[in-house]
Amino acid sequence: MAEIREMGIPFLRRRTGQSEEAREYNKIVEAISGLYESRVEKPPVIVRKPSCGFAPIPIYEKVDGERSNGVGLVPGKLRFLQTAVFYPSPTDDNNAIEIVPKLNNVELDADPRPHEDLADGDFEAWCIFREIYQSPEARIEFRTLGTGPGVIDRDEKCVLLCTFEVTRNGEHYGVTLLEQKVSCELAIWTNNHQFRCFKTDNNKIKIERGNVMFLNGQSDPLVAERFEVPRSDEVTITESGSIWLDVTATVRQHSSSMVDLDLTAVPNPRLRMYRIYEIGSATFTFRGASVNSPNPPDHGNDDVEVWGDTSLDLHYEICRLTFVDGDVFITDQIAEGPVWVSDLVDGKLEPDEE
């Protein structure tokens, strides 16, 4: 009846008599009360859940009709985004890649939700991820508090998400958050730079584009010019080795002068000097013990012939790779910026024909 009064409906007093008329009257009052009370909006039932991703929670699920209980995490996301170094037209490289990590090979937002059967005690939740181009991977590991993430692969990284306490009463789990390190989303900034080697699959890599710089000109002033090397094709790695940048350069004469020998019987010779004039091409090559060997390439050992007007082969080691059990690992990133071609010169004396 209180709801009726709050809605401004006059109070309807019940009759206390036992007559037929009183009973019928009271039925009418009950009907009116029920009609108006049914129109009163009840406040919704609020179910409080953890408000942030990566928070520990007890999970009670039925899988194939059987009860399956344990501890899991509220779904959260990892967001991978490259640090801006190049500024071309927008491509997929400008877009963040979002993934939901997996627990026991099942994504956190799957149905049914993944969980683990944990005993009483204090635990850590670690996120372990691999930066595979356009297809990064991430997984969750529950570890005893203070023991760290355990053994991870050499191309994996890890972040502590939270610490929590588990108390069990039979099949019922109590989960108490101790410290939330990461909430909702984990941003991963990918370090991008010229000639960066990055994985596209377990045994495949690519090399980011970069610049070869050289001083161009045959006389004063020399001007530094840029030769852009595009991103490499995908390379399948089958053994340990290195990625090399093979550069061809054109050599031209840049000066000549008469050498005064001050000899009557011997004509004065002409000294011709040669230097790199321009860059012809630049390609990436993988070299290993059996693929495109040797690694490194053989050095030139001709100490007689002068370069002259010809071409010159230059080789620059970009990175070193290790291949173990079907996986390639980038162990040494040697080049992280533009490759500068040394100002190499050569010369020769020859009879003056001018």
Predicted local distance difference test score (pLDDT) of residue 106: 95
What is the Cα–Cα distance from 21 to 36, expressed in whole angstroms? 23
Would you say residue 173 has pLDDT above 90?
no
CB 32 within 8 A of CB 12: yes
pLDDT above 90 covers a percentage of the chain that reads: 47
Torsion region of 148: left, alpha or beta (phi above 0 gives left; psi -120 to 50 gives alpha): left
For the chain, how many structural domains are there in total? 3
Residue 156 within any structural domain of the chain: yes
CB 350 within 8 A of CB 269: yes
Residue 49 within any structural domain of the chain: no
Q: Which pLDDT band holds residue 68 (cuts at 50, 70, 90)?
A: confident
* Residues 8, 113 within the same domain: no
What is the Cα–Cα distance from 136 to 270, expressed in whole angstroms? 63
The average confidence (pLDDT) of the chain is: 84
Q: State which residues form the domain around 25.
A: 2-37
Strand order in the sheet with 102-103: 106-107, 102-103, 137-144, 121-130, 156-169, 172-180
Render pLDDT for 231-288 as a digit per residue (tens, 0 to 9). 999 999 999 999 999 999 988 888 888 888 777 777 888 888 888 888 889 999 999 9
* Residues 166, 232 within the same domain: no
Angle at 274 between CA 268 and CA 280, to 5 degrees: 155
Tally DSSP H helices, then E strands, for the chain.
2, 22
Residue 6 within any structural domain of the chain: yes
C-alpha 347 chain-centroid distance: 50
Render pLDDT for 3-62 as a digit per residue (tens, 0 to 9). 444 445 555 666 666 667 767 777 777 777 666 555 545 444 333 455 689 999 999 887
Predicted local distance difference test score (pLDDT) of residue 172: 84
Would you say residue 86 has pLDDT above 80?
no
Predicted local distance difference test score (pLDDT) of residue 50: 54
Indicate the residue among 173, 190, 207 that finishes a domain. 190
Render pLDDT for 87-136 as a digit per residue (tens, 0 to 9). 556 666 667 889 999 999 999 999 889 999 999 999 999 999 998 887 89
> Phi and psi of 35, rounded to 5°?
-65, -45
* Residues 202, 338 within the same domain: yes
Predicted local distance difference test score (pLDDT) of residue 265: 73
Sign of CA dihedral 12, 15, 21, 26: positive
Which among 139-143, 214-218, 345-349 has the top mean pLDDT?
A: 139-143
